[in-house]
Amino acid sequence: MHQVQPYSLFTDYDIHLFKAGKHYKLFEKLGAHLVTVDGVEGTYFAVWAPSAKEVAVIGDFNYWNDGEHQLNVRWDSSGIWEGFIPHVTKGVRYKYKIHSHHDGVVTEKADPFALFCETPPNTASIVWDHNYKWKDDEWMQKRKEFNDLDKPYSVYEVHLSSWKKKVAENRSLTYKEMAKDLVKYVKMMNFTHVEFMPIMEYPYDPSWGYQITGYFAPTSRFGSPQDFMYLIEEFHKNDIGVILDWVPSHFPADGHGLANFDGSALYEHPDWRKGYHPDWKSCIFNYERNEVRSFLISNAIYWLQQFHVDGLRVDAVASMIYLDYSREEGEWEPNMFGEREYLAAVSFLKEMNEAVYGNFEGVQTIAEESTAFSGVSSPTYLGGLGFGMKWMMGWMHDTLQYFKKESIHRKYHQNDITFSLNYAFSENFMLPLSHDEVVHGKSSLFGRMPGDEWQRFANLRTMYSYMFTHPGTKLLFQGAEIAQSEEWNFQHSLDWHLLKYDYHKGVQTLVKDLNKLYKTVPSLYEKQFSHEGFEWINFTDGNSSILSYIRKGYDEKDDVVVVCNFTPVKRENFRLGVHKSGKLKEIFNSDLKKYKGSGVRNTRALKTDEISWDGKEQSFEITLAPLSVMVFAFL
């Protein structure tokens, strides 16, 4: 077998950017790259290991022997080891064996920049390429029209392993099978976007993908990187955007992963107060190290560039930006100003968002951030973190707590269900009913609903309808749309058999129609992040547990009136104040019989009267269905 030959893809400028933390396309340089040198095909390997005294490539081609193919360290103190090995071709398995200067430690590591990995529990990297002829040009050119902040944004959150399984074969669908089944389903349900829980390679199934070892490799559990590209392409062909969960907050300590990579704390912070996560028993990235910042920002750019994804949902932002997150007194050290914010992580997130929005048109970043940190979705030039949107965790918590209560008790908790509007426009909020809410003994969403069978389903339909008429974008986790009865179990398929039952089928039909309503009524999305898009009619009727409000878009003719009845009491001749005269008609009603509701409707056009009501000069009367949300449009 040929020995390692001197070769490099790096220029001096690359090294300068890398050291400065400004190289945003490291995936084009580090890792394993199929190249031809002097007419000979082979693979160029490059790995960052500054504490190494020796780095060898081991793999199928040398019987995993570290005495055969030792890389050369660059002269420029970058800590990069590199070289060309002839005749190493696509599909070959490999790792790096690293002899450290630190106490003679020897590590055997997967490539941090590997494009493809063995399927767990196997841990080797695989030489691969990105060759793929994309056929989604039409989407890429027009996606800004679908992805802007004043467009409908309704997300179906999916865990690829458990969405649907081939029962007879006891396996998950492949990427190519999902390109048929999942794409068809998301389109049928009228969602505008799909969000995948982490698909980057991860060793431990119960982590659901949030403990990543292969940041640049889509998991091989479901197929090749090209198969994953095909899945994304099929979504795009059907005008559905693709969001990936991205985890720059922490990584596992598995022996083949990033932890203690070259015998030193290379990717993780060396101070355990900043480098170890007590909740997840994992390592925290060292945001103070420029090369690590380059690694992470390059990773964000990589998925957007190489896989055409349309957004990144950034996991666990709160754990990144607070030094005392989940720590007791004495387990953290204040910043230079004596405060709790982790300044390096804050600046990293700002830089990441600037790089993403500066390099790609029509994409979004979304923060899962659970605190009152100010300006998460404000531009960096205004002092914000620069995200496009932020999850509205307060709304999620308050809404779920409210709907758990028997309807007779809700009159004492009117403020719980209205409180979100006090801060709804302080950020660009996404309303999430996510996977975190249906695990670890919390019960499924349906399982929390009170009352008899009819009321439980009516409550669930009402909660979803309230969500879709509330300002903000939407996210619903798989199974919620069929009123999954059991908690989510990552090992099992969703309970698709439930759709044989009318009540479950009714909830699915309702979600499908809510998505259509949201997409086709401009006032529900055009000003979804602005107080100008919302006006209360009445939020003080606690005794009746009724809310009413107006949603507004760019054109006044698109205004709609929403009324929510959170009790099972039907109300005849219920009067609502409105801001203008005219005729209205019912365009949505969660109590329709096709949803397995009671079928109380307003079938005729309703004319406003010059009767002052709810502080407004005009008003009109409706029949208000029990446990329902009703929407009325002006004719």
Which sequence positions are flagged as catalytic? 315, 368
Tokens 């893809």 belong to residue = 9
As a whole number of angstroms, the distance between CA 499 and CA 483 comes to 9
As a whole number of angstroms, the distance between CA 600 and CA 584 comes to 17
Half-sphere exposure of 344 (CA within 13 A, CB side): 18
> Which DSSP letter does residue 203 get?
S
Cβ contact 90:58 at 8 Å: no
> Which DSSP letter does residue 249 get?
S
- Write out the DSSP string of 578-618: ESS-SEEEEEEETT-GGGTS------S-EE-BS--BTTBSE
Q: How far is CA 153 from CA 243, 314, 381, 396, in A?
A: 11, 17, 25, 17
As a whole number of angstroms, the distance between CA 348 and CA 319 comes to 14
SS3 content of the chain, % helix, strand, coil (to 5): 30, 25, 45
Q: How far is CA 489 from CA 88, 156, 208, 429, 493, in A?
A: 41, 17, 10, 28, 8
As a whole number of angstroms, the distance between CA 614 and CA 357 comes to 44
Counting DSSP H helices and E strands in the chain, the numbers are 12, 31
Name the pairing type of β-strands 389-391 and 429-433.
parallel
Q: How far is CA 14 from CA 5, 20, 348, 597, in A?
A: 21, 10, 20, 63
